[in-house]
Structure 1
């Protein structure tokens, strides 16, 4: 009885057909279950947390150009507001000096200088309020511009509201300038409206929204 006989119980067992080698899992990864391609070096990575909301959303790594422009405009507006605050403060000081001088010249309650002093005092208070308002707006403009780098949704919403209100004020000044017919009364309000429009739109577009919604570590 030969070893080549397939019915020989003492012969060599029949050889099995070779099987395809299994791809080893990547370094540090557990073996993949049947039917799932292994992941590792040279294999495409599967998206992490596919069911997590926004898990695959891409966020900008650098500030979008429109936001950079809006940030520069905020700093320019803050400089104008600081100059305006100083100007109104100087005028308020002049009005206060006039009020003091009228007080020193008035001799009785019926004296015309007394009425003039009261009017100058009221003007001083109004001018001082305007100067403080301009200074506060300048501080807000600087704060929003600085917070563009790390701020979140609060900074975004505040910027949109601030820009929209500034645009309304600019439109009112533009209408008044058009009624006056003076070119100098139109240029400044027009520039103000352009600045306010960019400041309002920049946080609303898709790139601006993604920038303020990005994760912070």
Structure 2
């Protein structure tokens, strides 16, 4: 047999077949796995979706630090609002009882007073305090609920927090200007803290991490 015979089992394989001299360099032969492009998964492997909206093209799996700070501040403010609401309610009840006792004892406000009696004045003052108490308690519920919803809330929680912080910051600025005009150090300190807290709430919601956290998919 001749080595040039294509049917010769001892001769070299024909060109173009695996292992032959005609096989292009760098190309695997038939039956070998084909190499994909760098950075891409091979055929048959599940591809991971790249969700936009977060650092690196993905969503955060844990609540960012600034959001955690804003959440803690919401809980603290909510607790203070609960205490303030209860104190206002007790104050209204105390004024109501005190005015009733004063009226029974014959106390008189005089003819020039717009209120008919001490009892009427006490009732009006108690009503004002009760209204403020209800407002404080309602805001406390809002603050606490927003903090709770940070875990699984969506865009509604984020937008509500931004609006809440903006209104609170505006009220804080107005109070701060009034305190500066009066020179009251305690009032100034209170409103400075309130403006700072409102700013943290807004900043936590508008940062990239904050947007990504509330945009993340929920399964």
Pairwise TM-score range, normalised by the shorter structure? 0.7 to 0.9
State the shift of 1:91 in Å.
1.2
2:95 alignment counterpart: 95
Q: Which runs of no fewer than 5 residues in structure 2 stay unpaired?
A: 19-27
Task: Output one character per residue of 1:24-59: Cα deviation in whole Å (capped at 9) or x when no partner.
Answer: 379xxxxx9xxxx98169xxx785568x987x9400
Moved more, 87-96 or 56-65: 56-65
Structure 1 SS opposite 2:205: coil
Q: Which runs of no fewer than 5 residues in structure 1 stay unpaired?
A: 27-31
1:181 alignment counterpart: 183
Distance 1:139 1:49, change over 3 A: closer
Moved more, 112-121 or 122-131: 112-121
State the shift of 1:182 in Å.
2.1
Structure 1 SS opposite 2:117: helix
Residues paired across the two proteins, number: 198
* Contact kept? 1:151, 1:212, Cα under 8 Å: yes
State the shift of 1:104 in Å.
3.0
Structure 2 SS opposite 1:203: helix
Moved more, 97-106 or 131-140: 97-106
* Contact kept? 1:167, 1:193, Cα under 8 Å: yes
2:2 alignment counterpart: 4
* Contact kept? 1:74, 1:142, Cα under 8 Å: yes
* Contact kept? 2:149, 2:157, Cα under 8 Å: yes
* Contact kept? 1:23, 1:38, Cα under 8 Å: no
Report the Cα distance in structure 1 between the residues aligned to 2:143 and 2:157, rounded to whole angstroms.
11
1:215 alignment counterpart: 217
Task: Output one character per residue of 1:89-128: Cα deviation in whole Å (capped at 9) or x when no partner.
Answer: 1210112113322453569xx9889432212111111110
Report the Cα distance in structure 1 between the residues aligned to 2:70 and 2:77, rounded to whole angstroms.
10
Report the Cα distance in structure 2 between the residues aligned to 1:128 and 1:210, rounded to whole angstroms.
41
TM-score w.r.t. the length of structure 1 is 0.77
How well do the aligned residues superpose, as a CA RMSD in angstroms? 3.4
1:68 alignment counterpart: 68
Report the Cα distance in structure 2 between the residues aligned to 1:200 and 1:100, rounded to whole angstroms.
46
Q: Which contiguous aligned blocks of 4+ residues in structure 1 show a shift greater than 6 angstroms?
A: 110-113
